Amino acid sequence: MRIVVETERMLLRRFTGADAGLLAALYGDPRVMRFITVQPLSLAEVESKILPAYLREYRELADGLGSFAAIEKATGQMAGRFSLKPASSYGLTGGTELGYRLYPAFWGRGLATEGARALIASAFGRLHLDWVVATTMAGNIGSWRVLENCGMRRVRTFYYPDADLMPGAENGDFVYELTRGDWCRQGKDEPSEHGESRVGRDAPGNPES
């Protein structure tokens, strides 16, 4: 098990080929995917596309970048998935993109904020990156509150050409960013040499970004 970041309550580790079923349960839950895609994904799609892409990222990206399984320390259960990788979402023009989604059973416990803060700390303190970005649908209030609790700043709104993509898409997506300079001015602690970041439980979480 390759642990990338540790927080107070979670271990963020690399996915393995054995995680397909758990990942499919996450991507196949309409509640989780409500602000992400029109149709939840099937196990076949996860096995043929999503998981192979995650495993490929570990070979192609710098160590510490990619998509990671969030494991709750207390139970050993997978709480969801976090990601930190070169920006690729529609509406972004650069930077390193932060993402997260949690199983509904883990909503409302501050885990999204905890994991996101740890990856931001790793981005700036361990990986020496300059610019972290994220997007979330305007209607996903819980998600953009998580980003703001992490110190990120809303900089603009973009709109998809096909605004009828899903309910709420017509209101656009918010773009958030945080620069290394702003993070340092906020007085954030850098993670340890192993990527560890001790983060408190000070904000309610939300599963999607």
Q: Would the pLDDT of 206 be above 50?
A: no
Residue 39: inside a domain, yes or no? yes
Residue 179: inside a domain, yes or no? yes
Q: Would the pLDDT of 194 be above 60?
A: no
Q: Would the pLDDT of 204 be above 70?
A: no
Domain count across the chain: 1
CATH code, 74: 3.40.630.30
- Cα 88 to its chain centre, rounded Å, is 13
Please state the φ and ψ torsions of residue 91, each to the nearest 5 degrees. Answer: 95, -10
Determine the pLDDT at residue 31: 79
Mean confidence (pLDDT) of the chain: 85
35-39, 58-62, 89-93 — which one is most confidently predicted on average? 58-62
Determine the pLDDT at residue 197: 41
* % of the chain exceeding 70 in pLDDT: 84
Determine the pLDDT at residue 164: 59
Determine the pLDDT at residue 48: 92
Q: Would the pLDDT of 139 be above 60?
A: yes
Determine the pLDDT at residue 189: 52
CA nearest neighbour of 95 among 56, 123, 63, 61: 123
Residue 205: inside a domain, yes or no? no
Q: How far, in Å, CA of 166 to CA of 186, rounded?
A: 36
Residue 208: inside a domain, yes or no? no
Residue 37: inside a domain, yes or no? yes
How long, in residues, is the chain? Answer: 209
* All residues at 6 or more sequence positions from 88 whose CB lies less than 8 Å from its CB, including other chains: 97
What pLDDT digit, counting tens, does each position of 71-102 carry? 999 999 999 999 999 998 877 888 999 999 99
Residue 57: inside a domain, yes or no? yes
- Tokens representing 121 are 């700390």
Average pLDDT over residues 143-148: 92
Per-residue H/E/C for the chain = CCEEEECCCEEEEECCHHHHHHHHHHHCCHHHHCCCCCCCCCHHHHHHHHHHHHHHHHHHCCCCCEEEEEEECCCCCEEEEEEEEECCCCCCCCCEEEEEEECHHHCCCCHHHHHHHHHHHHHHHHCCCCEEEEEEECCCHHHHHHHHHCCCEEEEEECCCCCCCCCCHHHCEEEEEEEHHHHHHCCCCCCCCCCCCCCCCCCCCCCCC
Residue 83: inside a domain, yes or no? yes
Q: How far, in Å, CA of 185 to CA of 208, rounded?
A: 27
CA nearest neighbour of 106 among 32, 20, 198: 32
Residue 168: domain span: 3-185
Average pLDDT over residues 126-146: 91
Q: How far, in Å, CA of 112 to CA of 94, rounded?
A: 23
What pLDDT digit, counting tens, does each position of 110-120 carry? 999 999 999 99
Determine the pLDDT at residue 36: 66
Determine the pLDDT at residue 2: 92
pTM: 0.85
Residue 157: inside a domain, yes or no? yes
Q: How far, in Å, CA of 66 to CA of 55, rounded?
A: 9
- Whether 207 and 146 have beta carbons less than 8 Å apart is answered as no
